[in-house]
Structure 1
Amino acid sequence: MVGTGAFLLMATACAGQDMATSQPAGGVSTAPTGSVSTLPSASEPVVPQPTPNPPGKPRLTVPEGSTPVPAAKIDATALPAGFPREVWTSNGGTILDIRAQEGGCGHALGEAAEQTAGHVVVNLSETKAQTGQMCTMDIRYPVISVALAAPLDQRTVVLKTTPPK
């Protein structure tokens, strides 16, 4: 039974490969439904588009092209000892990319709680694990993004933690 499934899978893959290589010249193929798709020719380079980091979506690395916020412009006195204190700006200064901390089944969150002419207060928190759910005891340091109403410019970033949500 397993051998038959593997054979059908290989035959289907080979048939799909034959269809892909037997396209008419010019890079236009006709799908079985009658729709026409244009494929890029070998002379047209395919340029991958950068993937923006939408606010609220954690990632492992700092977005390319981000600018570090100077340590003198970060007030992290309210953070627990050992909590990351790294902040970058992107998108013309309207996005703060902040190294956060999360663990187990939780996920880091950030929210611009206050924005004045002199500072921006960002509340960092973590989602609460579901009750009865087994979680690992690891600590991760993702980069989260927080949208600002206006570019950061010379304002100070004040980092605080809030209880899990």
Structure 2
Amino acid sequence: MRWKATMCGLGLVLVAATACGEQTDSVQPGAGGGQPTSSEAAPTAPGVPATELPPVMPGGPRQMQPPDGAEQVPAARVDATVLPADFPREVFVSADGRQVFIRAEEGGCGRAAAEVTEQTDTRVVINLVENKTQQAGQMCTMDIRYPVVSATLSEPLTERTVVLESAKRGY
């Protein structure tokens, strides 16, 4: 009888160890080598200009790298002083300058999005928002992801400064 209890206990330990031992790929902010998994990659068609790509919407497929043809905005033209110290600071712009791609941060049940809140002759202010669902009893993972979100400008970015802000909603 004692051996049955021992075997049940050993089985539970084995199940718990295998469930907790699953490793996932993660992308660190600023790292260019992380590859998205097939469930995270946004569908893109070869040869489609970045201006024709739809913005990444909360709850939709996650785009982990900026689209081909997008160029990084020089760090001197990115003002991220109000972001938390560990927040990504990567900004890219499409070839026509009207679509901006920003590496954001999201975790668990949160979904990142970008909102243009101000556009002047000298600067563009973009609020990086993490929206969390409000479903009662919903279980959320304890991970951090760094998807690329996009925002469309009314005029090309040209030499304007990109000011990044952040907010959390639904917390």
Q: Partner of 2:64 in structure 1?
A: 60
Q: Partner of 2:48 in structure 1?
A: 50
Question: Are 2:113 and 2:128, in contact at CA under 8 Å, matched by a contact in 1?
Answer: yes
TM-score (norm. length: structure 1): 0.67
Are 2:154 and 1:157 equivalent residues in the alignment?
Answer: no
Q: Partner of 1:76 in structure 2?
A: 80
Q: 1:48 to 1:123 in 2, by over 3 A?
A: closer
Counterpart mapping for 1:8-157 below 5 A:
48-50=46-48, 52-57=52-57, 58-130=62-134, 131-157=136-162
RMSD: 1.8
Alpha-carbon offset, residue 154 of structure 1: 0.4
TM-score (norm. length: structure 2): 0.65
SS in 1 for 2:110: coil
Query: Which structure is larger by alpha-carbon Rg, 1 or 2?
Result: 1
Q: Distance in 1 between matches of 2:123 and 2:46?
A: 36
Alpha-carbon offset, residue 49 of structure 1: 4.9
Q: Gapped runs of 5+ residues in structure 2?
A: 1-44
Q: Distance in 1 between matches of 2:90 and 2:159?
A: 16
The number of aligned residues is 119
Structure 1 segments (4+ residues) deviating >4 Å: none
Letter paired with 1:104: G
Letter paired with 1:88: F
Q: Percent identity?
A: 53
1:125-157 C-alpha deviation (Å, 9 max, x unpaired) = 111132321000000000001000000000000
